[in-house]
Amino acid sequence: MSAKSPRKVRKVVFPVAGLGTRFLPATKVIPKEMLTVVDKPVIQYAVEEAIEAGIEHFIFVTGRGKNAIEDHFDLAYELEATLKARGKTAEIEILKATRPLFGAASFVRQQEPLGLGHAVWCARDIVGDEPFALTLPDMLIHGKPGCLAQMIETYNNHGGNVVAVEQVPHEHVNRYGVVALGKTFNERTHSITAMVEKPKIEDAPSDLIISGRYVLQPEIFEKLATQKPGAGGEIQLTDSMIALLSEQDFFAYKFDGKTYDCGDKIGYLAANVAYALDRPDIGPQFRPVLDDLMHK
């Protein structure tokens, strides 16, 4: 690994095989990644963020009941033909934005939801021997530029592995992977000296949590191959990153943006309000409606 000329990040992995139990019954038939924030599925925001970051290949680790994700990124031939016949060109353009280039999307199944680390490991053959980005789509990050673009710029400067981090209230640290920082490179970039998944509040090394965006070296797959289940009985990505930490550099990147955890009901509702308010076509009409609701 050379810090001067790190290999280009061309691929992104989206683990989307989780059960989404916190959103039942909505997720009985609909994958949680297909729940919409305003008028776009959560997964599409993640793909657009990756495109903005220069990613060329999109790898979805899916599971049973997740076919809608594959269909969403495919050509909807009959729908487009009908729209064309009706002269609905603007709507056709909206659909075009959902289609990756031919051959630029891959889908692999995680047959059992054994944990995030296991889901990432399922992508090993498609990623191959090159660095890759990893995005947890339900952590929606509102940033300009997007969080992944910021991280890839950091990776291009430093090489190694880069993990997006953000501060949370101390009493929430037991829900996440938590990092301890070492050397400071600039106000947003620090080396990581330790990581722990879902620590007890009193044991957490900081209030900085890993927030769903990573740039990882392919050696992570060697660690994942033998990773034993950790917190919650799941194969945890953080545990394999800890194993790799003694061999490779890990950088924490304090991104510029706001996170909405769309795997959680409150985070999901907040995302809908924030994204609607931010939309020039919807925000001005929505704001008085929201004000009215708030003052009832």
Which residues from 166-225 bind ligand UTP, rule CB under 6 A?
none
Question: Which C-beta is closer to ligand UTP: that of 69 or that of 244?
Answer: 69
Establish if 148 lies at the interface with ligand UTP (CB under 6 A): no
Residues 6 or more apart whose CB falls under 8 angstroms from that of 240 comprise: 117, 220, 223, 224, 227
CA angle, 15 then 92 then 56, to 5°: 35
CB 158 within 8 A of CB 251: yes
CA angle, 68 then 234 then 172, to 5°: 90
Question: Which C-beta is closer to ligand UTP: that of 127 or that of 181?
Answer: 127
Question: Which C-beta is closer to ligand UTP: that of 158 or that of 268?
Answer: 268
* Minimum CB distance to ligand UTP, residue 198 (Å): 11
Pick from 81, 77, 72, 134: nearest CA to 99: 72
Only segment of 10-18, 44-52, 150-158, 180-188 that touches ligand UTP (CB under 6 A): 10-18
Bridge partners of residue 135, in order along the sequence:
213
Which residues from 32-61 bind ligand UTP, rule CB under 6 A?
61
Establish if 72 lies at the interface with ligand UTP (CB under 6 A): no
Question: Which C-beta is closer to ligand UTP: that of 146 or that of 160?
Answer: 146
Calpha distance 231→118 (Å, rounded): 13
Which residues from 116-135 bind ligand UTP, rule CB under 6 A?
116, 118-119
Question: Which C-beta is closer to ligand UTP: that of 51 or that of 120?
Answer: 120
Only segment of 40-48, 108-116, 147-155, 173-181 that touches ligand UTP (CB under 6 A): 108-116
* Minimum CB distance to ligand UTP, residue 25 (Å): 12
Question: Which C-beta is closer to ligand UTP: that of 19 or that of 126?
Answer: 19
* Minimum CB distance to ligand UTP, residue 24 (Å): 8
Calpha distance 138→141 (Å, rounded): 9
Establish if 110 lies at the interface with ligand UTP (CB under 6 A): yes
Question: Which C-beta is closer to ligand UTP: that of 6 or that of 31?
Answer: 31
* Minimum CB distance to ligand UTP, residue 239 (Å): 14
Sign of the CA dihedral running 134, 19, 173, 48: positive
Asked if omega into 25 is within 30° of 0 (cis), the reply is yes
Task: List b or e across 120-134, with b for residues whose CB sees 16 or more CB atoms inside 10 angstroms.
Answer: bbbbbebbeeebbbb
Report which secondary-structure segment, H or E, holds 296.
none
CB 231 within 8 A of CB 166: no
Q: Which residues bind ligand UTP (CB under 6 A)?
A: 15-22, 61, 110, 113-116, 118-119, 136-138, 263
